[in-house]
Amino acid sequence: MTSTLTKRVAAGLFAAVALMGAGAAQAEGGALHPRNVNFSFEGPFGTFDQGQLQRGYRVYEQVCSACHSMNLMAYRMLGQEGGPFYDEHHEAARNPYVAAIAAQIEVPDTDTETGEPITRPATPADHFRAPFPNATAAAFANGGAAPPDLSVITKARHGGAEYVYSILTGYRDAPDGLRINPGQHYNPYMNGDMSPFWEGDEHHVPPGGFIAMAPPLVAGAVTYDDGTEPTVDQMAQDVAAFLAWAGDMHQVERKRTGFAVLIYLLLFGIITWFSYKKIWRDVGH
C-alpha cells in the first residue's frame, strides 16, 4: 500500500519538477542571470516592508514616471491594505496621505460644462497619470523605443524584481570592440544578441543586449523622508520592491491564505487517511 503511495507522490513531484524545468528552459538567452537581492517579500512567509514601498513609490513618481506609465494603478491602491500608504484608521479611498499625493498631480479631464479639455488635481479614484498620450508619442520622445508600462513588469520578465534591480544597476561601459548605435546603452542583463555588433573574439561575445533607456538613476536623485541614504543601489531596490507589490498586490494575502489552506488540507488528509485505514481494515486487497 505505502509503496503505491510513495510512487504516486514521487510521480507527482517528478511531473512538477519536469514542468518547472520546461519553464526554466524557456528563460535562456544571452543575458546574465539577474543578481540576487534578499527582498523581504520573498519566500512563503515574506511580507513587504512598508517603508521600502513608500520610498519605492517616491522613486517611481519622481524619476520613472517621466517616461513610464502604470496604467493599471489607481492612487487609491496606494492606501489599500498592504500598500505603501495603508493606514488602518482610514479606508483606502479616504486615506488622507493618498488624497494629498493625488492632489499634487494634474490629470487630464473634460470640462463638464464647455466640453473643453482641461487638467485638474487627481483624486484617489484616478488612475496614475501617464507621461505620454499614446504609444506613438512615447516612442517618438524616446528615440523610437516606447518605454513599457510598468504595472506588471515584474510578472512580465523572468527574475521579476531582481531583474528590474539588475537592469537599473547593471549598466556598464561597453567592452572594446562592441559597436553601439546612437541612443543605445549596453546592459549585460538585457536580453539580446551582441554578435552582430561585436568585432572581438567570436567565442567571447559579451553577454546581454542594448537598451534604449539611459541609466535613469544617479545618487541623490530623490530625497528620502526617513533618512535612508539615496544611493543608486538603494533606490533600485526600493523601486523594484514597489513594482513587485504593484504587479501582484495581493501576494501577501495570497501566501497567508495558502498557508491556512494547506494546514486545513493536511488535517483533513490525516483524518481521511485514518478513516481509510479503519474502513479497509478487514478487507484483503
Partner 1 sequence: MSDHESTYVPKTGIEKWLDERLPIIRFGADYMALPTPRNLNYWWTFGAILTLCLVVQIATGIVLAMHYTPNTELAFDSVERIMRDVPGGWLIRYVHANGASMFFIAVYIHMFRGLYYGSYKQPREMIWILGCVIFFLLIATAFLGYVLPWGQMSYWGAEVITNLIGAIPVIGEPILIWLRGGPAIDNATLNRFFSLHYLLPFAIAGVVFLHLWALHQVGQSNPVGILMPKDSRSKDYLPFHPYFTVKDGFAIILFLMLFAVFVFYNPNALGHADNYIEANPLQTPAHIVPEWYMLPFYAILRAIPDKFGGVVAMFAAIGVLFILPWLDTSRVRSMRYRPTMKKLFVIFVVVCLGLGWCGAQLPDANVIPGIGGGFTLFDGDINTYLWLTRVLTAYYFLFFLVLMPWVGLKETPLAVPASISEPVLTGETEQKG
For ligand HEC, the binding residues (CB under 6 A) are 59, 63-64, 66-68, 142, 145, 147-148, 153, 157, 164, 167-168, 190, 211-213, 216-217, 239
Amino acid at 237: Q
- Cell readout for 34 is 539577474
Instruction: In angstroms, give the least distance from the CB of 165 to partner 1.
Output: 16
Interface characters, 161-200, with partner 1 (x: CB under 8 A):
------------------------------x---------
Residue 109 forms beta bridges with which residues?
A: 118
Copy the grid coordinates of residue 220. Answer: 541623490
Q: Which amino acid is at 186?
A: Y
Cα–Cα distance measured from residue 81 to residue 128, given in angstroms and rounded to the nearest whole number = 18
Cβ of residue 257: shortest distance to partner 1, in angstroms?
A: 6
What is the SS3 assignment for 187? Answer: strand
- Helix residue spans in the chain (DSSP H): 2-25, 50-62, 96-103, 135-141, 153-156, 160-169, 232-247, 251-279
Q: Is 218 exposed, middle or buried (0-12, 13-18, 19+ CB in 10 A)?
A: exposed
Among 50, 158, 212, 222, binds partner 1 (CB under 8 A): 158
Spatial distance between the Cα atoms of 37 and 166, rounded to a whole number of angstroms = 9
Q: What SS3 state is found at 31?
A: coil
Closest CB to ligand HEC among residues 67, 252: 67
Q: Which is nearer to partner 1, 188 or 230 (CB)?
A: 188
User: Does 203 sit near partner 1 (CB under 8 A)?
Assistant: no
Q: Which of 10, 12, 81, 200 binds partner 1 (CB under 8 A)?
A: 12
User: Which CB, 74 or 241, lies closer to partner 1?
Assistant: 74
Chain residues in the site for partner 1 (CB under 8 A)? 1, 3-5, 8-9, 11-12, 15-16, 18-23, 25-26, 29, 44, 71-72, 77, 148, 151-152, 155-158, 191, 248-250, 254-255, 257-259, 261-262, 265-266, 268-269, 272-273, 275-276, 279-280, 283-285
